[in-house]
Amino acid sequence: MVYILRPDEVKQKYGPLFCRGFLTMVDEERGIAQIVEKCISKGPGEWDVVNRKRSGGVITDIRMDGQTLIMDVKVGEKELQFGPVSEHVGGQGLAALKIEGDEVRTTWYGIAGATVGIGACIPQCQDVIRTEYPDDFKIGGAHIAHVDIITPKTVRVIIGIDDTDTKERGASWVTAMKMGNNSPIGSFIEHKIIQLNPKVPKKTTNCCSTAVSFAVKEEEIPALIEYCRDFVKKESFSQDSVMTVFKGLSIPDSLKEYGIRAKTEIITEEDAVKAAEENGVMVINLTGPGGIIGAVAAIGCFDMGGEAAGIPEDFR
């Protein structure tokens, strides 16, 4: 038997705690997911990173970005291995992630103080639909406990843009940041500035494109695309603005290779069209075709971390 609490009921029972975001994005075709968890402080996240790595389960990678935890997850379930450390310092882990219609169920286990995180902190986040507790659930102390946290199923959508500015006016990275921050659809996740080949003959000043990502429900994707298209078109000062769209958690290798090439080579519009068609990238010409090279590269470089912001010689 289980009992169920909504986020407001969890907050009422345990008092306000610290989770400010808990998004579950899935890529069903590849059997993977990504969880983005936002905390008000970095310290608890660092503890979670260490302990969730130690316990294994369905988390394949976990990292900290500021006060945000990013977890790469395999869809399914896998036994946790807390090991002897649990006798001394507690532990926490993700045993399962399952897709159930338009919802995602994550099954968490915690030992000692870690039960507060999974039983009271995450469950009161407004991104959560409900949390299911076993009848014998106890929080804190030396208890071992588990809960099922149910969230909306979302997917990752990356929007790339380029050539919205001129030498006199505008900045594409600013347009993208405003677009993401003001979006009424989905949840704005990340913003990236992608440095392209600064030696190309046709550019504004820095030769950078940009992209933002969203966690969005599948049925909301058309509305998100329409919002972004209208926003960029309105904000553009250029006659060559292009927007690109990619859905998924894994950037294809050939698209990454195209992005790297765009940092060092002279790429043609035909090259960009081919890369987009072969890798599932939607291209939308807003005011003209010229921005396609950078807008496609923005998708290819999106998951490269700091390397997206530079050219290869910066990292030698």
Three-state secondary structure readout of the chain: CEEEECHHHHHHHHCCCCEEEEEEEEECCCCEEEEEEEECCHHHHHHHHHHHHHHECCEEEEEEECCEEEEEEECEECCECCCCCHHHHCEEEEEEEEEECCEEEEEEEEECCHHHHHHHHHHHCCCCCEEEEECCCCCCCCCEEEEEEEEECEEEEEEEEECCCCCCCCCHHHHHHHHHHCCCCCEEEEEEEEECCCCCCCCCCCCEEEEEEEEECHHHHHHHHHHHHHHHHHHCCCCCCEEEEEECCCCCHHHHHHHHHCCCCCCCHHHHHHHHHHCCCEEEECCCCCCHHHHHHHHHCCCCHHHHHCCHHHHC
Over residues 19-65, the pLDDT tens digits come to: 999 999 999 999 999 999 999 999 999 999 998 998 889 999 999 99
Last residue of a domain, one of 125, 152, 179: 152
**Are 165 and 300 contained in the same domain?**
yes
The mean pLDDT of 204-212, rounded to a whole number, is 82
**Are 204 and 300 contained in the same domain?**
yes
The domain of 70 spans: 2-152
The mean pLDDT of 257-279, rounded to a whole number, is 94
Is residue 223 scored above 90 in pLDDT?
A: yes
Closest to 302 in 3D by CA, of 156, 155, 154, 160: 160
Whole-prediction pTM: 0.93
pLDDT of residue 111: 86
The mean pLDDT of 92-100, rounded to a whole number, is 96
Last residue of a domain, one of 105, 120, 152: 152
pLDDT of residue 169: 62
**Are 178 and 306 contained in the same domain?**
yes
pLDDT of residue 315: 65
pLDDT of residue 151: 98
pLDDT of residue 157: 98
pLDDT of residue 290: 83
Residues facing residue 146 across a β-bridge: 109
pLDDT of residue 208: 87
Last residue of a domain, one of 152, 185, 215: 152
Is residue 110 scored above 80 in pLDDT?
A: yes
Is residue 88 scored above 70 in pLDDT?
A: no
**Are 139 and 199 contained in the same domain?**
no
Structural domain count, the chain: 2
**Are 224 and 281 contained in the same domain?**
yes
Q: Could you give phi then psi for residue 55, rounded to 5 degrees?
A: -80, -15
**Are 161 and 310 contained in the same domain?**
yes
Is residue 89 scored above 80 in pLDDT?
A: no
Angle between helix axes 253-261 and 292-300 (nearest 10 degrees) is 130
**Are 291 and 184 contained in the same domain?**
yes
Over residues 158-205, the pLDDT tens digits come to: 999 998 865 656 688 999 999 999 999 999 999 999 999 888 766 556
pLDDT of residue 84: 58
pLDDT of residue 81: 83
Tokens, residue 22:
């808990």
**Are 237 and 305 contained in the same domain?**
yes
**Are 208 and 305 contained in the same domain?**
yes
**Are 87 and 201 contained in the same domain?**
no
We report the CATH number of the domain holding residue 288 as: 3.30.70.2200
Which of 11-25, 29-43, 274-288, 298-312 is predicted with the least confidence, judged by mean pLDDT? 298-312
Q: Is the dihedral of CA 48, 54, 60, 62 positive or negative?
A: positive
Q: Are 126 and 21 in contact (CB under 8 A)?
A: no
* Percentage of the residues of the chain whose pLDDT score is greater than 90: 73
pLDDT of residue 269: 93
**Are 100 and 218 contained in the same domain?**
no
Q: Rounded mean pLDDT of the chain?
A: 91
**Are 279 and 163 contained in the same domain?**
yes
Residues 229 and 223: their CA atoms lie apart, in Å, by: 10
